[in-house]
Copies of this chain bind each other. A is one copy, B any other.
């Protein structure tokens, strides 16, 4: 299978760098094709702006969504964006690997999402009617592909536990796993997390590689997180709220998982 690993850490000699090298080797040894987008090494442009459409009027009002749509439709996108989109369409699975900084992905990776996720590719797809609210959340152009996060954090696992002060890790990652990955169609596998990165010695690193290796070996067998598809009956359209008879007493992020 074809795997795109988008990797965002500034230091190759870091834990993240070692894990990235391990993951690539493990996947290649299993016979997969792997491409790595090493965003820091590529000096990826993090900031979405008017220059991302290479053929626009200099004085025209810049509308991020509309400009993205026009640029995609007319082949006017910046070359770096096109290359990443080609990798994305080539891939059977996408892995995003990053250190958690301030409870989300590093800016350089957020900027990869914002620029590569064009209107007409990752959003603004499909009809909007009284029964269907766009091809999103379970549908979309990336449907059929799998995605998974590999995330490191300096914090303790208990701080991200169901009653931990940082918030449960599933909730903290929801905007990424549900909002960035499930939205355009990916099947999202459970994330692989490394906590307390400051305490990863040789023994712990070996343990981490063992666990991560297993996860990578089973990339095509692991059950995705069962997020509820938007247009299959569970949600009212166009309000996009969960039907009253499903999890009737509950609210919050977890109701969107079957």
Contacts and interface: CB of A to CB of B under 8 A. Distances in A.
Most buried by B among A10, A178, A238, A254: A10
A102 B63 contact: no
A13 interface: yes
Contacts of A238: 156
19 contacts: A10-B64, A11-B50, A13-B61, A48-B106, A101-B114, A103-B175, A103-B179, A103-B180, A104-B179, A156-B238, A159-B239, A163-B241, A163-B251, A164-B242, A166-B240, A167-B174, A172-B174, A175-B175, A252-B253
B49 A168 contact: no
Contact of A165 (B102, B106, B180, B230): B230
A47 B163 contact: no
Contact of A63 (B11, B114, B176): B11
A61 B178 CA distance: 34
A26 B245 CA distance: 46
B47 A156 contact: no
Nearest to A39: B47
A71 interface: no
Contact of A241 (B14, B48, B164): B164
Counted per complex, copies of this chain come to: 2
A190 interface: no
Contact of A253 (B50, B113, B171): B171
Interface string A160-202: 0111111110011011101110000000000000000000000
